[in-house]
């Protein structure tokens, strides 16, 4: 067995573990759900508490983490245990995935993101790492399904549609800028992805807050829509900064490789489009009077552009440009 096939074995193993993690996360959400049925009372109690605090009760100010679960929601021991099992599995799956990326890198002696398959696996690993690092601290067990699911999807597509044998790079990619520009790009995409997942959850949560459903489910156990919105904003902000850097690093590299830093090649166009859409999101978020729901919709459109940039622009010949490194076809 050589390194490249070990890398693939680790990739399959991580998919198995992630699948288990996803089941465990679902199982965890199931344990959260019935709790809520009794917590309607708790929600009302929370309102009362707010009133009390508002009246200027002495004592320490409220220091609840803005990312914590919904106020008034007491997580059961069962739910907590299941959440922790799922997290452990996620850590293991992520470790295997990172190992797979590293082995692939060693096998080809270069940064392991030189074609679409490698970019997809490295990107999935970045999402896994980002989630693993942030999940425990922020009690994001509820988010697991929405993060591990997409990771699995990307891994599956990488292995079936995008798979490329370990091999040498095209001359244009042989540059240290590959390590810088592309890695920052997929780390940015990792943050965009988690922010997107939270954004979707936010919209559903907000809808259910405005029109409370007859039968509450796990959604009602999540942090308030305002807290979700803030979290998504923070993640999008980090991703936006990284994306700005990606854009600039790409321009510097383009100058070296193609002689001009900006030529409106389709990949450049879409990187720019993504940047402007997210810039619009940051703007609308900072504009008083634009409601956060509308801003979030802009961010979601931005993520659709991220997906288009990675799929259509790489694979469809309409978008033929100079970034022809997919390795597919």
Partner 1 sequence: MTTETPPRPRKRTQPDPSLPKLSAMGWVRWAWRQLTSMRTALFLLLLLSVAAVPGSIFPQRNIDAGRVADYIAQNPTTSPWLDRLGFFAVYSSPWFSAIYLLLFVSLVGCIVPRTKVHVAALRATPPRAPARLSRLDEHAEVVTDLSQDEALAVAREVLRGKRFRLHSHDSTSLSGESGYLRETGNLVFHLALTGIIVGMAVGHVFGWRGDIILAEGDKFASSAGTYNTISPGPWVDTETLPPFVLGLDRLDVQFNEAPGRGFGMPKEFTAYTTLQREPGAPATKESVSVNHPITVDGADIFLLGNGYTPVITVRDAKGEILYREATPFLPQDGNYRSVGVIKVPSASPKQLGLTGFFLPTAEPTFIHGPASLFPDAKNPEVALSIWEGNLFPGDAPQSVYTLNTDEMKQVTKADGSPALIRLKPGQTYEIPGGRGTVTFDSVKRFAGLSVRTDPGAPISLVSAILATAGLILGLTIKRRRVFVRVRPAGPGAAGVDSPSGDDGRPATVVSIGGLSKDSDAGLAAIVAAVHDRLAERNDRS
Query: For residues 173 and 323, what is the distance between their CA atoms, to the nearest angstrom?
Result: 10
Q: Which of 251, 297, 307, 315 lies at the binding interface for partner 1 (CB under 8 A)? A: 251
Query: For residues 27 and 148, what is the distance between their CA atoms, to the nearest angstrom?
Result: 14
Q: Interacting stretch for partner 1, rule CB under 8 A, among 118-126, 137-145, 185-193, 251-259?
A: 251-259
Between the alpha carbon of residue 294 and those of residues 111, 241, 299, the distances in Å are 39, 21, 9
E strand or H helix that includes residue 65 = none
Phi, psi of 2 (to 5 degrees): -95, 180
Q: Interacting stretch for partner 1, rule CB under 8 A, among 79-87, 91-99, 205-213, 256-264?
A: 256-264
Instruction: Say if CB 79 and CB 31 are below 8 A apart.
Output: yes
Q: Which of 1, 41, 48, 63 lies at the binding interface for partner 1 (CB under 8 A)? A: 63
Q: Interacting stretch for partner 1, rule CB under 8 A, among 3-11, 88-96, 143-151, 261-269?
A: 261-269
Does residue 307 touch partner 1 according to CB under 8 A?
A: no
Does residue 59 touch partner 1 according to CB under 8 A?
A: yes
Q: Tell me the closest approach of the beta carbon of residue 279 to partner 1, in angstroms.
A: 6
Query: For residues 33 and 216, what is the distance between their CA atoms, to the nearest angstrom?
Result: 8
Does residue 289 touch partner 1 according to CB under 8 A?
A: yes
Query: For residues 313 and 329, what is the distance between their CA atoms, to the nearest angstrom?
Result: 14
Q: In this structure, what token pair is assigned to residue 232?
A: 């998504």
Q: Interacting stretch for partner 1, rule CB under 8 A, among 21-29, 33-41, 86-94, 259-267?
A: 259-267
Between the alpha carbon of residue 108 and those of residues 13, 51, 172, 253, 328, the distances in Å are 21, 62, 16, 22, 18
Does residue 8 touch partner 1 according to CB under 8 A?
A: no
Does residue 287 touch partner 1 according to CB under 8 A?
A: yes
Which residues here bind partner 1, judged by CB under 8 A? 56-63, 65-66, 164-165, 167-168, 170-172, 174-175, 177, 230, 233, 237, 240-241, 244-245, 248, 251-252, 255-266, 269-270, 272-273, 276-277, 279-280, 282-284, 286-290, 298, 305, 313, 318-321, 327
């Amino acid at each position: 067995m050589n390194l490249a096939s070990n890398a693939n074995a680790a990739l399959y193993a991580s998919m198995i573990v992630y699948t288990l993690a996803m089941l465990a996360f679902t199982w965890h959400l199931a344990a959260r759900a019935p709790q809520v049925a009794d917590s309607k009372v708790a929600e009302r109690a929370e309102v009362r508490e707010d009133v009390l605090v508002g009246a200027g009760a002495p004592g320490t100010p409220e220091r609840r983490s803005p990312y914590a679960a919904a106020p008034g929601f007491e997580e059961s021991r069962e739910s907590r245990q299941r959440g922790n099992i799922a997290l452990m599995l996620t850590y293991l799956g992520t470790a295997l995935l990172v190992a797979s990326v590293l082995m692939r890198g060693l096998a080809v002696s270069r940064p392991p993101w030189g074609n679409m398959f490698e970019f997809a696996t490295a990107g999935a690993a970045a999402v896994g790492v980002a989630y693993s690092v942030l999940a425990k601290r922020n009690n994001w067990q509820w988010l697991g399904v929405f993060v591990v699911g997409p990771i699995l999807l990307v891994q599956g597509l990488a292995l079936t549609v995008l798979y490329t044998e370990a091999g040498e790079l095209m001359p244009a990619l042989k540059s240290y800028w590959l390590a810088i520009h592309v890695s920052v790009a997929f780390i940015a995409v990792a943050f965009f992805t988690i922010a997107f997942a939270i954004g979707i959850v936010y919209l559903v949560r907000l809808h259910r807050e405005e029109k409370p459903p007859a039968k509450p489910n796990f959604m009602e156990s999540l942090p308030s829509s305002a807290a979700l919105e803030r979290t998504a904003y923070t993640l999008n902000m980090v991703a936006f900064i990284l994306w700005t850097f990606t854009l600039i690093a790409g321009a510097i590299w383009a100058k070296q490789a193609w002689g001009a830093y900006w030529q409106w090649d389709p990949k450049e166009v879409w990187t720019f489009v993504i940047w402007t859409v997210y810039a619009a999101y940051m703007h609308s978020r900072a504009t008083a009077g634009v409601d956060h729901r509308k801003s979030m919709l802009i961010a979601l459109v931005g993520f659709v552009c991220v997906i288009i940039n990675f799929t259509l622009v790489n694979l469809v010949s309409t978008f033929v440009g100079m970034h022809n490194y997919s390795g597919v076809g």
